[in-house]
Structure 1
Amino acid sequence: MKEIKVPELAESITEGTIAEWLVKKGDQVEKGDPILELETDKVNVEVNADASGVIAELLKDEGDDVEVGDVIAKVDENGEAGGSDDDSSEEEEKEEEKEQNKQEEKKEEASKQKEEKSSSDSSQKEQSKDSNKDIIATPAARKRARELGIDLSEISARDPLGRIRPEDVDAAAKGGSKKEEKKEEPKKEKKQEKNNEKTEFDKPVERVKMSRRRQTIAKRLVEAQQNSAMLTTFNEVDMTNVMKLRSDRKESFQKKHDIKLGFMSFFTKAAVGALKEFPLINAEIQGNEIVKKKFYDIGMAVSTDEGLVVPVVRDADRLDFAGIEKGIADLATKARNKELQLDDLQGGSFTITNGGIFGSMLSTPILNSPQVGILGLHNIEKRAKVMPDDTIQARPMMYIALSYDHRIVDGKEAVQFLRRIKEMIEDPYDLLLEG
């Protein structure tokens, strides 16, 4: 019997959640065949069988959390698909034995409960007899109480002297005693409290377990705020010239490169240019050291159904506009189709996030740790702008934001960085020449 364990995935990934089993007990598998899909912090990966044979047992269920090295299944290398008759008969016998044992246990429990109940009833009767001796009641009332099975101590007398009469017994039999009502009220209250503890809400709700990726996103965002001195600075960009350039070149660009010319390539080029002028924004902190990165791997925040992921466009400084657009489109497609690999998500030096595609006017993006800078883009809207000749024109404007780690990036550098991006976007022809 061969054990299948969760393999080593990556240095930063030590656990995952079983998203889906691709096989079931009794299935024939070959070595290297995918047997399950594992959801990790970053991507979904397939775990392959490391031996050929028949799936003898699945030790974990879908939704279970597993760690690297955990045994998740067993493969019978000498077995046949579907299992043998001997195996099935043995399993049936085991199940029958289990059912018989359960029935015997139930009988024993029932007999014990009867004994306990009878003993408690007898003790209660003895106690009630002792207590009834001290109660003042007429012989007729005592006889009537015995016939109706009512405890005299639970009956309130209407007689001024406190003597219980037959009519008091009949009234108690019809309406119940005050003590019974008092006993029922706290029980109802307790039940209500228990129900409130379970639901917490007076109205219907739905509880959904967070996916591992969503848990990781939540954890990382909180860590970014706790472990960095994060500030955000803002500026606005006149998009007139970029939009005119795109309009003039979009057809020829698409014919030549088989891809549309978007805004992201302009901002990526501008970010790379600004990072070269302000290298601390392309750095990170490791202990007491500042690590200045001499490469420009730009992360692109992509929204998916399972949450935000940040795949990386490698060596963006060496790519032309078409190369950047193709890289972004390829990563976005892979992200939405759940085809991203771990290498696609590791090693970024700076991140760009575009909330404008969802209509965001202004936001403060959170750092993608351990990076110390992230550029936020927003929607384009026409706003009144005072031109150099003091005329007022309606221009397509975009707010841009830079969140940065104030531990190593000063406010002066952050403001100048954003100002440099603004200058390059507002003069895209210069950006093309430098690109």
Structure 2
Amino acid sequence: MILEMKVPSPGESISEVEIAEWLVKDGDFVEKDQTIAEVDSDKATLDLPAEESGIITLKAEEGDAVAVGQVVCLIDTSAKAPKKNIVKQDDEPVEVIKSIEEPKEIISEDSFAKGTPSPAASKILTEKNIPISSVNGSGRGGRITKDDALKALPKVDLNAIAKERKIESKKLSMLRRKVAQRLVAVKNQTAMLTTFNEVNMTPIFELRKKYKEEFKEKHGVGLGFMSFFT
């Protein structure tokens, strides 16, 4: 039996959706209620579950705009799930034990400080993966200082980075396109301005100072500036 899967209605005002991504391939066996695709509407991204188990045949491509109620895939419910191949392991892995030679102590005639980085220098060299042996120390006894570590950092060519910078273009989803359209519409249809007016508030201050005690005794609340504005 061939089952036709149609696009369900995400909402009353939505008549079209877009296939954002197929999560299965053409000819795959799908289980019932398995999510097979993601569809974008004007309001949200929705999951499309398989209505029955069987082999799926895709009828729409990713990025296609399809109407609500349109057939997007077919499911052959008479097909059976493929058997999984079980690999038997007859032979057990043989454990190989290698002898480890103990490191021999190397006695150097140089001082202990030579080639030893300071804590700040060690942090810089570790973060940048710079071998300590490649840095010459200028500190006391040949110790590697922070300045030595900074000088050992590779120089960055800003011009080369700008040339290697790649621009990747991606198609906007239906939801993002709708959001962009509404943002542009709001900007074009709304008066984007701010008005400033200067007012001499000295008479209001004097009037409030004169009557605030009497006003509070009579009404039980303080006399604020909003009373004058309203």
With normalisation by structure 2, the TM-score equals 0.42
Question: Larger relative contact order (C-alpha < 8 A, sep ≥ 6)?
Answer: 2
Name the structure where helix makes up a greater proportion of residues: 1
Name the structure where strand makes up a greater proportion of residues: 1
